[in-house]
Amino acid sequence: MCGLTGILTNNSIESLQSDCSAMTEILRKRGPDDQGVWVDKNKGITLGHTRLAVIDLSKSGRQPMMSNNGRWVLVYNGEIYNHIEIRKELISLGINFRGDSDTETLLEAIATWGVENTVSKLIGMFAFAVWDSKLNLLSLVRDRMGIKPLYYGNFNGLFLFGSELKALRAHKGWSPCINRDALASFMRHNYVPAPMSIYQNVFKLEAGCILKVRLGEEPKINSYWSLSNIVQRASYNRIDFNDFEATNKLNELLLDAVGRRMISDVPLGAFLSGGIDSSLVVALMQAQSSSPINTFTIGFEESNYNEAEHAAIIAKHLKTNHSELYVSSDDALNVIPKLPDIYDEPFSDSSQIPTFLVSELARQHVTVALSGDGGDECFAGYDRYFLAERIQRSRKRLPDSFLNGLSLMINSIKSGRLRAFSNAMPTCLTDSKFGEKIRKIPDILLQNDDELYRYLLSHWKNPNELVLNSEEKKGAIWDEAIQGFLPEYIERMEYLDYHTYLPDDILTKIDRASMANSLEARVPLIDHRVVEFSWQLPLKFKIRNGKSKWLMRQVLQKYVPQELFERPKMGFGVPLDNWLRGPLREWADSLLNENRIRQEGYLNSKLISKKWQEHLSGKKNWQYYLWDILVFQAWHERWM
């Protein structure tokens, strides 16, 4: 795994080397093993790279790398898992190789077949920039699922790009300001959705896209892989498997996806929470390894947030080399000051904290770790899918008078009594967020399908009211055309999560948390072949007998007894509500100060003050709303 950056400009040609070196150096965490810069002053192009050596540790894997024919120069972040097969094909065409890196395989494939034809062959995660010196054309490419990040911005003849925003910020020509519309979107989602960034005129290249740009011209972007096309084709051509055939096919696909991601010239392991996704990845790793796999988990003293005990049971059964670390609230709180530097732009999924900590633990032992991310999107695993469907099914059977009465009754219950009721219930009937879920019922009872989905994924429900002088952009979650080719409600929610929540939240979180620790994280469950297969399946293979991920469970049962993994779903969270009233109180008070927010001029200070006081009093639990604000305020304090 690596960091890449570069400049295309007709300005400040003499400082290209030093400017790119400064941008590259700031990505050192992404690639601590090596660093390089390539410059062509005559054409105004420079490419920079920091390397985390994983495949071919020798100097023959150094970047930037020039093709054998001298036409192409490449900087690349990621892994090509089928590069050996591609290399054999190239060798059969007479191509010679200097080393064994997948970088060289990718580069010579581009030199032989071109950019578009090459990316269609790739199995992997990648973001890369390649310069064509014959056509004076720069191409930026991002993998199909958006696993690896790539930002770019155009500033009056200065085109900057990089793996993280901090690389662009390091250039002396950096001059953007906050995009208030993007800030409004952040307050809804807890991330800034692509293609926007938090800055005006700076963008994320979207998943499955190629950007091409020449000096002095506007960038042109095309999609080389479209989930929309995949889904629409699959909806007319569902696979009619029986249960046995479907289970074996998924097992075969996942064994290959996991096996490819176990290729490494450095120590390798996996994150293990004890849930279905990570347990399945570890089981498939161990099934293909002659020695115990390294597995890692962190635990919390707060039982509602602790999965370490479950992970230990799975690890013992699979006979992995298991490491666990119980972290205190102080350990977790010490991560918070680092967040603005790790994430570069406001990002407030609070599971960013334990994700950083487990990455930090893993990096003490390995350089590569496999993760179970993506299983929920592939096989309908999120609780909100079931909640939304049950609500809509129930709503159709109940009169409005009853729904209005129920809404009034729930709103009248004080938070203290709701918590006491939840605590008195048997743990098998509730979870750590029971009270929060009950609180949501009044607001969601009268929503239609798409409104309900937006409600369930939204933090601030009306962000334009919160962010001054903003107009939230209407993205995919407002696209009514999707219902035309995906009439099934749960599948529509899955599809929207693929487009938004998966790349912009889940994959952003794991990339930044792991790379901040110089750790490469690989995500086999969203191998594009697995994703395409999952969309060919009828919904009965995802949801059956009231349970999600039915087919994944069937595969996991081949390796782990059902009683070891069948338990209520837990999020990878932290007790924010209590922290904000306790150890984070002073920090939060400073950032949420009404006068300060009013003077900064971005947010509605009175609205925030009201929610902060309600939270402190215990009348309401506004933890996620307030965390969005706090993350933005901390980011603003650090960078603006």
Of 188, 218, 224, nearest to 203 by C-alpha is 218
Q: What is the DSSP string of 94-145?
A: T---SS--HHHHHHHHHHHH-HHHHHTT--EEEEEEEEETTTTEEEEEE-TT
374 within 8 A of 523, measured Cβ to Cβ: yes
- Distance of alpha carbon 437 from alpha carbon 2, whole angstroms: 40
Q: What is the DSSP string of 414-433?
A: -HHHHHHHHHHS-GGG--TT
4 within 8 A of 47, measured Cβ to Cβ: yes
**Which of 2, 20, 209, 378 does the annotation list as catalytic?**
2
Sequence-distant (≥ 6) Cβ neighbours of residue 554 within 8 angstroms:
243, 246, 247, 250
DSSP 506: I
- Distance of alpha carbon 482 from alpha carbon 495, whole angstroms: 9
DSSP 240: -
- Distance of alpha carbon 131 from alpha carbon 65, whole angstroms: 10
261 within 8 A of 281, measured Cβ to Cβ: no
Q: 3-class secondary structure for 555-580?
A: HHCCCCCHHHHCCCCCCCCCCHHHHH
Of 43, 35, 34, 38, nearest to 17 by C-alpha is 38
2 is catalytic: yes
Sequence-distant (≥ 6) Cβ neighbours of residue 184 within 8 angstroms:
463, 464, 466, 467, 470, 471, 472
- How many other C-beta atoms can be found within 10 angstroms of the C-beta atom of residue 200? 16
Burial class (CB in 10 A: 0-12, 13-18, 19+), 271: buried
- Distance of alpha carbon 615 from alpha carbon 621, whole angstroms: 5
**What residues form DSSP beta bridges with 354?**
none
**Residue 607 has which token pair?**
């609205």
Residue 630 CA: distances (Å) to CA of 181, 187, 583, 591: 18, 11, 14, 6
- Distance of alpha carbon 218 from alpha carbon 154, whole angstroms: 8
* The residue count for the chain: 640
Catalytic residues: 2
